[in-house]
């Protein structure tokens, strides 16, 4: 017992003298120097030292009755506190700066609060505070706070998958900082732009910026930033299929981020899982994805790729007939998916309404303010509004007419398919054989000079098998892969398809898939209940956009309208 008492006393006294010595050494420092010290400790995850600095900063400001520095003291303290206490410190900033002269507050308070909400994954509250910060910054003509609001909203756009839009903002402030961003913020613009480029598959642009960052003196003297670039380099190597290099870089980044309990560890784990999945090492992929789930349970901080993580885990345990774990991960998926849906739904509605539209209106006001005469302003404004209304009306009626046309096309397609299926059933019932096209008749008058006739007949027979066995539904079919499978060359195959099918290979493949989809959607209720990405995958497309484009080109309507019309026809 005495040993424990002595140890406690020793620890207490050591802590007291350590803290006192630290405080004594701070007395000669200015606010700027104190803030620099705080940043250096905070960036190297020395939380204890950072707390001593921030507490001393606030005490010094209060003694000197310096309102702006008191507010800054509360700001520094909130960084190393849990959410409830951190929020109280930010509320203290709002109270202390109320009515203060200048153009810094309250815009800065809202931005700081938005950052706190963003850190704890409350994106709805983050957006609302960024918008309020932006509104006040614009009223007070504070260029820096306008810039910080725009940057933070760009992070939300990137989270939503609007990477092209976010990249514009990050690129602008990376190359046009105009003394707005400090060294750290400048580097974060580069990091964010790299992330957007990787998501947009602008691989070369991303790699150039990664190499630029790795050579930066600022990055090299900061462990956190160095490991950010290691993570991004790992992402790049994953994209270009250098899996071993990617794994080595990502593991270094993960060990660092996990060591400081930073949320970037989950993104790194996700990328490691993707690497091992590409290497067909399911056990390793599962190991990393389970670690992500464990972390998410502790923090409840989500990210969009979690949907992929949980569906992978569910499918894995389904294949292994582990119903208990399958059920567990289904439950986890539903909880995470609900949160993501709520965030996405709010952001997709509120971002355009609260951010994009006011920006457009601001642009309009800037144009109008440049005009000198009120009369001209009035005429131009009225003209613009009338044109917008006319355009809206034209687009509305055009959209209505297009929708009607699409529905009519869909109805005709359904009727034709139902009629064809009915006639086919009747023929089978009455014993009428399906008409056969002989190889001679099919090739008559269509002999290709560059392709020997016996080769043409062979290819046509193989294409018939390809169609009858519905091999066209496999993903990743190319002219090269099909030629290899039927043991011919691409020139012969291409020319045979061009002459005998009267279309190029891409059109031939798309037509087979779309015709299959048209038939299957009418016949199969379960197939019809799938979401469009699942239908696209079922019939061999890599993504839903490619499927939708091919479907519309072939039929003149869209998959969603076609499905709706099928459902309507079944209810009548």
Query: Is the pLDDT confidence value at 25 over 80?
Result: no
pLDDT of residue 503 exceeding 70: yes
* Residue 85 located in a structural domain: no
Distance of CA 44 to the CA centre of its chain: 29
- Per-residue pLDDT at 2: 42
Neighbours of 387 (CB within 10 A): 10
Residue 520 lies in a domain: yes
Q: Is 385 exposed, middle or buried, given 0-12, 13-18 or 19+ CB atoms closer than 10 A? A: exposed
- Asked if 104 and 145 touch (Cβ cutoff 8 Å), the reply is yes
pLDDT of residue 269: 95
Return the pLDDT at 371: 63
Residue 553 sits in which domain range? 436-571
Task: Note whether 161 and 154 are within 8 A (CB).
Answer: no
User: Quick check: 183 pLDDT over 70?
Assistant: yes
Rounded Cα distance, 68 and 99, in Å: 12
Checking if the pLDDT of 176 tops 90, the result is no
Give the mean pLDDT of 538-552. Answer: 91
Report whether pLDDT(372) > 70: no
Nearest CA-CA partner of 250 in 307, 288, 193 = 288
What average pLDDT does range 431-453 have in this prediction?
54
Angle at 91 between CA 86 and CA 96, to 5 degrees: 125
Q: What is the pLDDT of residue 88?
A: 94
Q: Is the pTM of this model over 0.75?
A: no
Report d(CA 36, CA 24) in Å as an integer: 17
Burial label for 214, CB within 10 Å (0-12, 13-18, 19+), is middle
- Higher-pLDDT residue of 494 and 11 is 494
Alpha-carbon span 570 to 366, nearest angstrom: 54
Q: Do 225 and 219 contact (CB within 8 A), yes or no?
A: yes
401-429 tens-digit pLDDT: 877 887 888 778 777 877 777 666 665 65
Q: Measured between alpha carbons, how far is 505 from 459 in angstroms, rounded to an integer? A: 13
Residue 10: band (very low, low, confident or very high) from pLDDT cuts 50, 70, 90: very low
Residue 551 contacts by C-beta under 8 Å, 6 or more apart in sequence?
514, 517, 557, 558, 559, 562
pLDDT for position 95: 92
Region 111-121 average pLDDT: 90
Rg (CA), the chain: 32
Cα gap 399→393, rounded to integer Å: 10
Is the residue at 264 inside a domain?
no
pLDDT of residue 3: 41
pLDDT of amino acid 438 = 40
Check whether 513 has a pLDDT greater than 70. yes
Whether 147 shows a pLDDT value over 70: the answer reads: yes
Reported as a single tens digit per residue, the pLDDT across 36-95 is 888 878 777 778 888 888 998 989 999 999 999 999 999 999 988 899 999 999 999 999
Evaluate whether residue 198 is within a structural domain: no
Q: Mean pLDDT, to the nearest integer, of 123-147?
A: 90
Cβ–Cβ contacts within 10 Å for residue 333, how many?
18
Q: Count CA atoms closer than 13 A to 490's CA, side-chain side.
A: 7
Measured distance CA(347)–CA(123) in Å, rounded:
8
Task: Give long-range contacts, CB 8 A cutoff, 24+ apart: 219-226.
Answer: 219/187, 222/43, 222/44, 223/44, 223/256, 224/43, 224/44, 224/45, 224/256, 224/260, 224/262, 225/187, 225/191
Is 366 or 42 the better-scoring residue by pLDDT? Answer: 42
pLDDT at 364: 62
- What is the tally of structural domains in the chain? 1
Is residue 562 packed enough to be buried (19+ CB in 10 Å), middle (13-18) or exposed (0-12)? buried
Comparison of pLDDT for 554 and 363, the residue scoring more: 554
Q: Is the pLDDT of residue 471 over 50?
A: yes
Structure-token match 């569910």, residue found: 314
Residues 539, 470: Cα–Cα separation, whole Å: 10
532 assigned to some structural domain: yes
Q: What is the pLDDT of residue 439?
A: 41
pLDDT over 90, % of the chain:
44
Mean of pLDDT values over 547-569: 90
The answer to whether position 162 is within a domain reads no
Q: Let me know if residue 129 belongs to a domain.
A: no
> Does the pLDDT value for residue 506 go beyond 80?
yes
In this prediction, residue 313 carries a pLDDT of 92
User: What tokens does 536 get?
Assistant: 């696209």
Q: What percent of the chain has pLDDT over 70?
A: 87
- What CATH number is associated with residue 564? 1.10.10.60
Average pLDDT of the chain is 84
pLDDT score for 360: 63
* Distance in angstroms (rounded) separating the CA atoms of residues 572 and 561: 17
pLDDT at 344: 76
Distance CA 471, CA 299 (A): 46
Residue (of 57, 50, 95, 86) closest to 73 by Cα position: 57
3-state secondary structure of 372: coil
> With bands split at pLDDT 50, 70 and 90, how would you rate the model's confidence at 11?
very low
Q: Is 448 inside any structural domain?
A: yes
Is the pLDDT at 489 greater than 70, yes or no?
A: yes
């Amino acid at each position: 017992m005495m040993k424990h008492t002595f140890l406690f006393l020793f620890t207490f006294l050591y802590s007291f003298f350590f803290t006192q010595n630290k405080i004594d050494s701070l007395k000669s420092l200015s606010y700027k120097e104190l803030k620099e010290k705080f940043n250096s400790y905070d960036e190297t995850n020395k939380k204890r030292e950072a707390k001593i600095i921030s507490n001393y900063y606030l005490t010094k400001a209060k003694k000197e009755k310096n309102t702006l520095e008191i507010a800054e003291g509360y700001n520094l303290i909130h960084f190393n506190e849990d959410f409830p206490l951190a929020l109280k410190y930010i509320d203290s900033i709002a109270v202390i700066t109320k009515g203060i002269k200048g153009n810094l507050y309250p815009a800065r308070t809202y931005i700081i609060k938005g950052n706190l909400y963003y850190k704890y994954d409350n994106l709805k509250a983050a957006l609302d505070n960024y918008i309020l910060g932006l509104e006040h910054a614009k009223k007070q003509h504070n260029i820096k706070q306008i810039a910080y609001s725009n940057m933070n909203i760009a992070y939300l756009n990137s989270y939503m998958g609007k990477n092209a839009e976010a990249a514009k903002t990050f690129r602008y402030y990376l190359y046009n900082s105009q003394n707005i961003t400090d060294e750290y913020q400048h580097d974060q613009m580069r990091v964010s732009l790299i992330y957007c480029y990787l998501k947009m598959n602008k691989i070369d642009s991303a790699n150039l910026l990664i190499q630029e960052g790795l050579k930066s003196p600022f990055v090299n003297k900061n462990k956190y930033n160095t490991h950010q670039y290691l993570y991004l380099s790992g992402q790049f190597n994953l994209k270009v299929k250098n899996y071993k290099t990617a794994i080595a870089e990502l593991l270094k980044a993960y060990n660092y981020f996990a060591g400081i309990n930073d949320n970037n560890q989950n993104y790194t784990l996700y990328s490691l899982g993707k690497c091992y999945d590409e290497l067909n090492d399911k056990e390793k992929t599962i190991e990393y994805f389970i670690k992500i789930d464990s972390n998410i349970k502790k923090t409840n901080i989500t990210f969009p790729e979690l949907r992929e993580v949980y569906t992978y885990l569910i499918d894995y345990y389904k294949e292994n007939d582990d119903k208990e774990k399958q059920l567990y991960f289904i439950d986890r998926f539903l909880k995470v998916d609900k949160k993501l849906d709520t965030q996405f739904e709010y952001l997709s509605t509120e971002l355009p309404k609260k951010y994009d539209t006011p920006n457009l209106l601001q642009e309009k006001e800037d144009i109008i303010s440049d005009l000198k005469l009120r009369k001209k302003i009035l005429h131009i404004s009225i003209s613009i509004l009338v044109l917008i209304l006319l355009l809206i009306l034209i687009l509305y009626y055009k959209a209505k007419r297009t929708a009607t046309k699409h529905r009519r096309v869909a109805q005709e397609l359904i009727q034709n398919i139902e009629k064809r299926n009915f006639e086919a059933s009747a023929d089978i019932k009455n014993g009428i054989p399906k008409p056969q096209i002989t190889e001679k008749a099919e090739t008559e008058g269509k002999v290709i000079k560059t392709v020997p006739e016996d080769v043409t007949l062979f290819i046509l027979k193989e294409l018939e098998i390809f169609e009858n066995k519905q091999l066209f539904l496999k993903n990743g079919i190319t002219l090269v892969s099909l030629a290899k499978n039927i043991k011919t060359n691409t020139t012969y195959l291409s020319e045979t398809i061009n002459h005998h099918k009267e279309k190029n290979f891409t059109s031939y493949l798309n037509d087979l898939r779309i015709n299959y989809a048209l038939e299957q959607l009418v016949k199969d209720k379960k197939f019809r209940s799938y979401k469009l990405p699942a239908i696209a995958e079922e019939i061999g497309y890599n993504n839903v956009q490619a499927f939708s484009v091919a479907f519309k080109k072939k039929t003149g309507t869209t998959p969603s309208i076609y499905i709706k019309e099928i459902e309507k026809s079944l209810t009548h």
